[in-house]
Amino acid sequence: MAIQISPSILSADFANLEAAAASVPNADWLHVDVMDSHFVPNLTLGAPVVEALARVSAQPLDCHLMIEDPDRWAPDYVEAGASSVTFHVEACAAPVRLARELRSLGARAGMALKPATAIEPYADLLCELDMVLIMTVEPGFGGQDFLEVCLPKIERAAALLAHCDSDIWLQIDGGVSAENIERCAAAGATVFVAGSAVFGADRPDDMVQHLRDLAEKGSG
């Protein structure tokens, strides 16, 4: 499957998210980090901001919910206009039920795992999803160093997903850069979130293309 790049607006200018979206026309998605200061020790934005961004963004929104009780709140993000909604399995009471609900509302359903969460206990649920997100930093903040120890989990997740009939995307998020994206793609990741690497670059859209080129090289 084709490589996709999803720049995280967490590293963009929150005073002008419309300009941030417009600065990366080459991006497949815009990654929107929703944090509630309970599941993670940081607070960002909620459904009203997602709704506003959805109105002005040319790219579809890839919402990453780092919140408690996603069973209750995640459907609101589909209503707000997100095309993909990813919840954390550590916070979710009923992942299959929630994934089915998100899909029935018309969004893609993703399930995220923190670095210390093993993928194997969820092996039987994975085919219910559209995407699995393997965090490569502890969620909560942009600009952290990539956790190299997560690479074997990317490989194991890719092997598990290969058993599903449908094409389930494998996303990674945290510390992704030109330095490591090639080996992440070689490990089997297909969708790459990058915040500081893209919005910290002089020319964000050129960086999106550069990351895509490197990932394509790694996956080939």
Residues at the contact surface with Zn ion, assessed by CB under 5 A: 33, 64, 173
Q: Let me know the angle formed at the C-alpha of 119 by 125 and 30, rounded to the nearest 5 degrees.
A: 85
Can you tell me the distance from the alpha carbon of 214 to that of 3, in angstroms, rounded to the nearest whole number? 10
Q: Which residues have C-beta within 8 Å of that of residue 17, sequence separation ≥ 6?
A: 9, 49, 52, 53, 56
202 carries an active-site annotation: no
Angle between helices 70-79 and 47-56 (to 10 degrees): 30
User: Looking at 99-209, which runs of residues are DSSP E strands?
Assistant: 108-113, 131-135, 169-173, 191-194
Taking the complex as a whole, the smallest distance from the CB of residue 162 to Zn ion amounts, in Å, to 24
Taking the complex as a whole, the smallest distance from the CB of residue 122 to ligand DX5 amounts, in Å, to 19
Q: Which is nearer to ligand DX5, 83 or 123 (CB)?
A: 83
Q: Is 60 exposed, middle or buried (0-12, 13-18, 19+ CB in 10 A)?
A: middle
175 binds, among Zn ion, ligand DX5, none (CB under 5 to 8 A by kind): ligand DX5
214 binds, among ligand DX5, Zn ion, none (CB under 5 to 8 A by kind): none
Q: Which is nearer to ligand DX5, 106 or 143 (CB)?
A: 143
**Closest residue to ligand DX5 in the complex (CB):** 195
Can you tell me the distance from the alpha carbon of 187 to that of 169, in angstroms, rounded to the nearest whole number? 13
Given the residues 124, 167, 173, 206, select the one marked as catalytic. 173
Which positions touch ligand DX5 (CB under 6 A)?
8, 10-11, 31, 33, 64, 137, 139-144, 173-176, 193-197
Q: Which is nearer to Zn ion, 140 or 188 (CB)?
A: 140
Taking the complex as a whole, the smallest distance from the CB of residue 184 to Zn ion amounts, in Å, to 15
Whether the CB-CB separation of 211 and 31 falls below 8 Å is answered with: no
151 binds, among ligand DX5, Zn ion, none (CB under 5 to 8 A by kind): none
Catalytic residues: 33, 173
